Structure 1
């Protein structure tokens, strides 16, 4: 595979960020001409970025047709989380075991614990408007946790597979944290996962990760089935999945 040029990489990162943050909605058209004008790039780097995003499952692309942002369906979400349930609890457990043997691996997790405590105190002291503006800070902490697990996981195949799913996972994050109540629940779930890992409790790390995934899936199902106005009419809801 040819190495991406600086321009195609910039276009790719911009489109990926817009898709993950839902600024580009599921089902939205990705016309090469329009994107070229908006991004100040020729059609070649735009086409390369679209094909790369298609390989990651974020874009539906058929040569000769207009590409679209991949839809979000209940069936797809369930399938993704079924797969994540096989991977992430095992990774969390392995990190807890490795950290018990080598304290140096726990440094980023202890840092995240402190960041989470600081965020919790600050978040609870804010009004609803300020809390809504604080969501990105929590997203950054939770993303830091996921990346720390990937980095500390001793099984490279497991770590790589989890990393390859990140784009799909990040896109759904904005739907699962649909309000301050879910935000605080997710915060407690991350606190439990961090506590289990830093204490070297393998079984608790597995259980805490599994519980977090189950709760996140439930929040996503509720969001996808009850907030159509928020999600937009172009989202495909495959309730049979």
Structure 2
């Protein structure tokens, strides 16, 4: 049993990584047999991994119980980011408040700001090709910020809800940073959020968080309009608005 559980975990991590990185494109069918052959696993761990990803919203089932990578649609992205804008700025504000009286809370945010400044200094010296290749370093800082907010948030329900949304948002990250200009803008947005939290300015932290999410949503909409995997009836409705 332990061996099957370990295999299922390995298959899950591989499939999740492929979905989040868009190596498995939205709408792609997931054949248990084919995946098992590719990953060197039996159908049981593959099935368990697919069901787990379905619970996270990364996989859905079409009639006939055929699994596929969950599509990305403009309407779905807007709904997700509207929900995030209700939660994450509030969490950032609460962390800033806590940090103003407990310096220990601010340690990871100071470290992240230092990493961000180092990345910024290096990024601006690179040519366009090298800049694109360095995005992963920024993603690590961005992911670190999100995790630090969740860890420092004293409201367990708020923290858990934000954490549960991570699987949905990570794969959109590659679509929201469409070039060096957006990368630099996002960098400035993260700098503003980090500084507000470090300074204990709850109002500024909330405003900076909301601004960042709004700008990211617009970048995603612009990107999805030009992609061929934005599917669903809501696309036409959204494009008309």
Q: TM-score range by the shorter chain?
A: over 0.9
Gap change, CA 1:49 and 1:63, over 3 Å in 2: farther
Gap change, CA 1:136 and 1:29, over 3 Å in 2: same
- Alignment partner, residue 231 of structure 2: 236
* TM-superposed deviation, 1:162: 0.1
Normalised to the residue count of structure 2, the TM-score between the two structures is 0.94
Matches within 5 A, 1:1-241: 5-61=5-61, 64-225=64-225, 227-228=226-227, 233-236=228-231, 238-239=234-235, 240-241=237-238
Structure 1 ranges of 4+ moved more than 3 A: none
Q: How many aligned residue pairs are there?
A: 234
Secondary structure of 2:68's match? strand
Residues 8 and 46 in structure 1, CA contact (< 8 A), matched pair in contact too = yes
* TM-superposed deviation, 1:17: 0.7
* TM-superposed deviation, 1:62: 5.1
Residues 193 and 209 in structure 1, CA contact (< 8 A), matched pair in contact too = yes
Residues 92 and 206 in structure 1, CA contact (< 8 A), matched pair in contact too = yes
Gap change, CA 1:158 and 1:24, over 3 Å in 2: same
1:175-233 deviation digits (Å, cap 9, x = unpaired): 000100000000000000000000000100000000000000000000011x22xxxx3
RMSD of equivalent CA atoms = 1.4
Q: Give unmatched runs, 5+ long, in structure 2.
A: none
